[in-house]
């Protein structure tokens, strides 16, 4: 992937830096801080204090992590951060680390403390301002502090730990044994807000309006009179990127939309209507369905399908981009991408964070590497929920901003076995009915994904007096937070019945509908 040559200037507002020691919750901490309308950024734990100082943070959070501070090779922090005069909050491993680093003693606890606990916080501590004396908290740690560093005092305790909260209010350094960022610590967001606002003095400046304004300025500065190409998929990220870029540079943006022949019913027309029609964005649709389907002929292996589609996409996109470049040499110098913040955070190798792994598996192909484009990534500071807010702010409809994820390889991974025009037609028709009924019953936005899968299974049925021997459609309707785990939705039987009846009556070639009641893991959301 081409390296970005220049990025928009760093934000001018107050910011909190989070040093990542590999906790699965590090991104959640960043989001909680942003919910306080304060910009937050995650950096690897080994970032030097001098580099941190240059970013002029208002506060630093040391995340949790799976290691033990006294273990060999345990990730360390540059201790000079404690002398920057910037408030520090250590969470779990982060707390043990700062206690250990500042001269306290950390030891292995007899029993690992995991799960809910009741905290009694010191009312005089700024972290607990406005909160009740007793708070439910969530613990997950195996070490405990047995001696406090000089200048520190205990500021809260649980049944099992006299040092559940520690701090040196003079130096503004605090530690929490529990996880304030998780939902199981119901008032944890307020504890973090107290740190961010009261201890670090951050103002609430991180709003989507200010983001849009500043980012548009940044895009104009970066691009000048150049032209930008964006691959539009119809998904949330590329749609919001398109609207944002269009606001910033108008006709200097051209979107390329590749029709791979594996899209849902009416998708091409809907995307064209919205972006070319309503938004008046310059847009080119490349109808490449024939070449995709030709390459997929006879292919049944799911990973092979993905590879073919990924490779073909790059080729088609490259060709379209090359043609544009030729049409106006010297100006098409930029390639925009809807990269989000979770994709750019440098993953910590000790974390084993499965989120990082799943991404690479699902990234369909790469983008033109050899083409010497400069990257424009206007969403690279944002989390998904923030992208949705930006989309809403830019006037995109709920239909676009809250649409369910759709895999890059499209319907190809929802047709088990070979992909033929006939099977595509069946799945498209069935899928359109699922979508229609989910929307009509208001369930579409309540679930993570809802779609039809075409099985290569034929079974006997009767229609009227006729015996049929037709295909089976499976319904996959799941709830999930991030696609990593999922559970099947207990959809009301009447809706299931309506979907089933409609598919069997209206879709030629289907005589049986099944409901998939497997959770992930061990099943996956898609069938291929």
Catalytic residues: 92, 179, 181
With b for 16 or more beta-carbon neighbours within 10 A and e for fewer, the 14-27 pattern comes to bbbbbbbbbbbbbb
Member of 282, 295, 362, 425 binding ligand XMP (CB under 6 A): 362
How far from the centroid of its chain's Cα atoms is residue 523's Cα?
21
Under rule CB under 6 A, which residues in 426-455 are in contact with ligand XMP? Answer: 449
Q: Is residue 207 a contact partner of residue 213, using CB atoms and an 8 Å limit?
A: no
Applying CB under 6 A, what is the total number of residues that bind ligand XMP? 13
Cα-trace Rg, the chain: 26
In whole angstroms, the minimum distance from the beta carbon of 384 to ligand XMP comes to 12
Nearest to 48 by CA among 86, 87, 19, 14: 19
Angle between helices 236-249 and 208-223 (to 10 degrees): 60
Contact code string over 134-163 relative to ligand XMP, x by CB under 6 A: ------------------------------
Beta bridge partners of 424: none
Q: How far is the CB of 472 from ligand XMP (least distance, A)?
A: 19
The nearest distance, CB 309 to ligand XMP, in angstroms, is 8
Beta-strand ranges (E) seen in 346-443 are: 374-376
524 contributes a contact to ligand XMP by CB under 6 A = yes
Q: Which of 306, 325, 333, 428 binds ligand XMP (CB under 6 A)?
A: 306
Quick one: 13 or 431, whose CB is closer to ligand XMP? 431
Which listed residue (483, 495, 496, 516) binds ligand XMP by CB under 6 A? 483
Task: Supply the minimum distance, in Å, between the C-beta of residue 528 and ligand XMP.
Answer: 8
How far apart are alpha carbons 17 and 61 in whole angstroms? 6
| 526 lies in the binding site for ligand XMP (CB under 6 A) | yes
For 67, which DSSP code? Answer: S
Q: Which two tokens stand for residue 12?
A: 């001018």
Nearer residue to ligand XMP within complex by CB, 88 or 379: 379
386-425 binders of ligand XMP (CB under 6 A): 405, 407-409
Least distance CB 491 / ligand XMP (angstroms)? 18
User: Least separation, in Å, of the C-beta of 335 and ligand XMP?
Assistant: 19
Is the alpha carbon torsion for 112, 139, 489, 239 positive or negative? negative
Which of 109, 308 has the CB closer to ligand XMP? Answer: 308
Backbone angles phi, psi at 454, to 5 degrees: -100, 120
> By CB under 6 A, is residue 354 in contact with ligand XMP?
no
Stretch touching ligand XMP by CB under 6 A, among 59-67, 200-208, 421-429, 518-526: 518-526
147: tokens are 């001696």
Contact status, residue 71 vs residue 100, Cβ threshold 8 Å: no
Told to check if 175 binds ligand XMP by CB under 6 A, we report no
Is residue 90 a contact residue for ligand XMP (CB under 6 A)?
A: no
Closer by beta carbon to ligand XMP, 167 or else 408 = 408
Per DSSP bridges, beta strands 282-287 and 173-176 are unpaired
Q: Do 123 and 133 meet the contact criterion of CB atoms below 8 Å apart?
A: yes
**Distance (Å, rounded) from C-alpha 313 to C-alpha 69?**
47
Residue 177 to residue 160: CA distance in whole angstroms: 11
Which range, of 13-21, 248-256, 325-333, 519-527, touches ligand XMP by CB under 6 A? 519-527
Residue whose CB is less far from ligand XMP, 414 or 423: 414
Tokens standing for residue 215: 């980012």
Tokens of 255: 């979107």
As measured in angstroms, the least distance from the Cβ of 222 to ligand XMP is: 27
Overall residue count recorded for the chain in this entry: 528
Note the residues at the interface with ligand XMP (CB under 6 A): 306, 362, 364, 405, 407-409, 449, 483, 520, 524-526
């Amino acid at each position: 992937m081409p390296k970005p040559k220049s990025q928009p200037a760093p934000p001018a507002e107050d910011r909190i830096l989070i040093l990542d020691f590999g906790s699965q919750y590090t991104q959640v901490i960043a989001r909680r801080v942003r919910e306080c309308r304060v910009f937050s950024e995650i950096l690897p734990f080994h970032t030097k204090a001098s580099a941190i100082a240059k970013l002029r943070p208002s506060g630093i959070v040391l995340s949790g992590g799976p290691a033990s501070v006294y273990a060999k090779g345990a990730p360390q922090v540059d201790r000079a951060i404690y002398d920057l005069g910037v408030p520090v909050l250590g969470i779990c491993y982060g707390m043990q680390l700062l206690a250990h680093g500042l001269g306290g003693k950390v030891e292995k606890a007899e029993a690992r403390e995991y799960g809910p606990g009741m905290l009694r916080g010191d009312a005089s501590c700024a972290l607990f301002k406005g909160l009740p004396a007793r708070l439910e908290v969530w613990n997950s740690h195996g070490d405990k502090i047995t001696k406090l560093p000089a200048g520190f005092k205990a500021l809260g305790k649980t049944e099992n730990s006299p040092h559940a909260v520690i701090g040196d209010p003079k130096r503004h350094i605090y530690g929490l044994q529990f996880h304030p960022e998780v939902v199981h610590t119901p008032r944890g967001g307020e504890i973090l807000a107290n740190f961010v606002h009261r201890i670090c003095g951050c103002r609430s400046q991180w709003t989507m309006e200010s983001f849009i304004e500043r980012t548009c300025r940044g895009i104009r500065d970066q691009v000048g009179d150049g032209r930008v190409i964006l691959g539009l998929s119809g998904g949330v990220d590329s749609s919001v990127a398109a609207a944002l870029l269009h606001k910033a540079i108008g006709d200097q943006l051209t979107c390329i939309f590749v029709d791979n022949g594996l899209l849902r019913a009416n998708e091409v027309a809907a995307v064209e209507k919205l972006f070319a029609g309503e938004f008046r964005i310059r847009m080119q649709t490349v109808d490449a369905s024939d070449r995709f389907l030709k390459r997929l002929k006879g292919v049944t292996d799911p990973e092979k399908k993905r590879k073919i589609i990924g490779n073909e996409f790059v080729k088609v996109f490259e060709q379209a981009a090359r043609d544009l470049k030729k049409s106006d040499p010297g100006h098409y110098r930029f390639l925009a991408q809807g990269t989000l913040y979770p994709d750019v955070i440098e993953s910590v190798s000790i974390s084993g964070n499965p989120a990082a792994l799943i991404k690479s598996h699902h990234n369909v192909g790469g983008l033109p590497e050899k083409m010497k484009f400069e990257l424009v990534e206007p969403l690279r500071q944002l989390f998904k929920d923030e992208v949705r807010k930006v989309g809403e702010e830019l006037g995109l409809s709920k239909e676009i901003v809250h649409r369910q994820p759709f895999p890059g390889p499209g319907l190809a991974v929802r047709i088990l076995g070979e992909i033929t025009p006939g099977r595509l037609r069946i799945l498209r028709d069935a899928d359109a009915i699922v979508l229609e009924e989910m929307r009509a019953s208001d369930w579409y936005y309540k679930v993570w994904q809802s779609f039809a899968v075409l099985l290569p299974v034929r079974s006997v049925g009767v229609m009227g007096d006729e015996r049929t021997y037709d295909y089976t459609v499976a319904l996959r309707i799941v709830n999930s937070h991030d696609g990593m785990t999922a559970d099947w939705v207990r959809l009301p039987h009447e809706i299931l019945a309506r979907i089933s009846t409609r598919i069997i009556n209206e879709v030629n070639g289907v005589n049986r509908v099944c409901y998939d009641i497997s959770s992930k893991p061990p099943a996956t959301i898609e069938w291929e």
